[in-house]
Structure 1
Amino acid sequence: MNRLDGKVCVVTGAASGIGKRIAEVYAAAGGKVVIADLKLDAAEATATEIRDAGGDALAVAMDVTDEAQVVDGIAKAVAHYGRIDVLVSNAGIQIVNKLTDFSYADWKKMLAIHLDGAFLTTRECLRDMETRGTGGAIIYMGSVHSHTASKLKAPYVTAKHGLLGLARTVAKEAAAYGVRANVICPGFVRTPLVDKQIPEQAKELGISEDEVIRNVMLKDTVDGEFTTVDDVAAVALTLAAFETNALTGQSIVVSHGWFMQ
């Protein structure tokens, strides 16, 4: 089994959904987890659950689009645990709309959360990793939409494609001090983010919610199944525990065969 004994792992957007499950799996594998989330009370609740289960967790408030909050949050993590070994840049939202109906404000909001947030958290964690020179892992939460596109998701698809470029650049720049950078690309995971999209897409496309699930979301999977948070967390654990530059600059698709590369 992959182990993270003593490794300090920052997970953004970790109060719920995929991020929460990754944090739980990391803690169960011996990692010390920093629950970074926009909502401090929700982050505290998740951290308390992990501690109650025997894990080690710290909650920090972090709007990943706010440079000062990211700098402060990572500084608090380093002050508390002494180092950062793993970053999972997971915070994200979804706004569904036709390109011609997208407001510029919504476009900028989407790119800020997914790309600016990834840059800011990466920069702060890498500064610690570079100073220590003992290695580390940066993991970005991409999507099948890092490789393909769907209607109504222009900024999301654009941002998720962008994470591939960031990861590959980090992989080259940070290799000298043993830091790996990779992207996890899940298919549709049944989280509140996806549940919210089902009625939205049904309305936009003029079809039923069941048809959205069967004919849009899961149409190209091999088994008609949603990807689970456990599926994604298992890959995140493997990437965090992998110790050499043999596995860096890659994207790993976890989608029940929806997208194959």
Structure 2
Amino acid sequence: MSDAGFTLDEPTVAPGDVLQLDDPHFTTDSVAIVTGAASGIGEATAIALASNGLTVVGADVDGDGLETTADEIGEFEPPGAFVPVRTDLTDDGDAESMVEAASARGDLRYVANVAGMQHIASIADFPMDRYDLLMDLMLRAPFLVSKLATPHIRDTDDGVGAIANMSSVHGHYATRDKAAYVTAKHGLHGLTKAIAAEGEGTLRSFTVSVGYVLTPLMIDQIEDIAEKRGITEREVVEDVMLGQARARELLTPVEVANLFTFGFSRHGKHLNGGDLLWDGGYTTSYE
């Protein structure tokens, strides 16, 4: 199969791509933390929430990437604001400082735990240092940020807010060579339900589970798979990544960002401990 006309450029976000919702808490007085905000889904989520009027504190270890996100948001001239805070989420002190910086900007109401990583290896060959790093970033850090943010959300005038965790189809099933990632994503569903159980109805929590998304991380993975298997990048996307799905194209980061916006809004008030499964049929259909 030819790759003629096939590109793997990360899609850009246009104003018309962003879900715009009317919500009494979607103002600059309300603060949303977005981790992993330097690229991909985190960047798109920061754009979407700022476009809906929120003050967004973007956390990422990549300071240069955060500045790029700030520049992109500036081009939208959104009603909200973006505050970059370079943060190593595996460092408790960094996480604490970031949450305090967010609370100083207004009423901290929302958290989008998006930051993630991937390592491909069988369980027998999985390096434990990579396992520990992945767990620290993708499970321990969301727990810590949620722990630190919860008192601030409860201290708002009405205690209304939400903590959202970026899951995956791999939070619903397992595929080979992704044991740490699968373990972390399954764990996030448990954390989400625990937050909902303690949230007293006003502090909600939910997960967002999607299939493959065209992010810089995914582009690297597609190129790597193509090289290892000796197939084209088009074949990786169409046969490997979309082979099981009924959808025939990869999600874009802003499409995922819109799910966070919806879940945080008043329209998601009954979404509590649940999951927004936007998987194109990966986990619900088969041939």
Instruction: State the TM-score, normalized to the length of structure 2.
Output: 0.84
CA contact (8 A) 1:175 1:245 kept: no
Moved more, 34-43 or 8-17: 34-43
The C-alpha deviation readout for 1:53-85, integer Å capped at 9, x for no partner, is 323111101111111000001111212x12211
The C-alpha deviation readout for 1:153-188, integer Å capped at 9, x for no partner, is 000011001100000000011125x11100000110
Matches within 5 A, 1:1-261: 1-3=20-22, 4-6=26-28, 7-55=30-78, 56-79=81-104, 81-132=105-156, 133-175=158-200, 178-202=202-226, 206-208=229-231, 209-242=233-266, 245-260=269-284
Secondary structure at the counterpart of residue 84 of structure 1: strand
Shift of 1:47: 2.1
CA distance in 1, matches of 2:59, 2:212: 23
Q: Which consecutive aligned stretches of 4+ in structure 1 deviate over 4 angstroms post-superposition? A: none
CA 182–131 in structure 1, closer or farther in 2 if over 3 Å, else same: same
The C-alpha deviation readout for 1:12-49, integer Å capped at 9, x for no partner, is 00111111111111111111111111122321331243
Shift of 1:202: 4.3
CA distance in 2, matches of 1:242, 1:38: 31
- What's the C-alpha RMSD, in Å, of the aligned pairs? 1.9
CA 41–198 in structure 1, closer or farther in 2 if over 3 Å, else same: closer
CA distance in 1, matches of 2:54, 2:41: 17
CA 108–256 in structure 1, closer or farther in 2 if over 3 Å, else same: same
Amino acid aligned to 2:46: A
Higher helix proportion: 1
CA distance in 2, matches of 1:192, 1:252: 23
CA contact (8 A) 2:244 2:282 kept: yes
Amino acid aligned to 1:91: A
How many correspondences in the alignment?
258
Shift of 1:8: 1.1
Secondary structure at the counterpart of residue 100 of structure 1: coil
CA distance in 2, matches of 1:9, 1:40: 18
CA 107–39 in structure 1, closer or farther in 2 if over 3 Å, else same: same
Unmatched tracts of structure 2, length 5 or more: 1-19
CA contact (8 A) 1:231 1:254 kept: no
Amino acid aligned to 2:284: M
Secondary structure at the counterpart of residue 85 of structure 1: strand
CA contact (8 A) 2:73 2:82 kept: yes
Instruction: State the TM-score, normalized to the length of structure 1.
Output: 0.92
Quick one: higher RCO (CA 8 Å, sep 6+), 1 or 2?
A: 2
CA contact (8 A) 1:253 1:260 kept: no
Q: State percent identity of aligned pairs.
A: 32
Unmatched tracts of structure 1, length 5 or more: none
Secondary structure at the counterpart of residue 101 of structure 1: coil
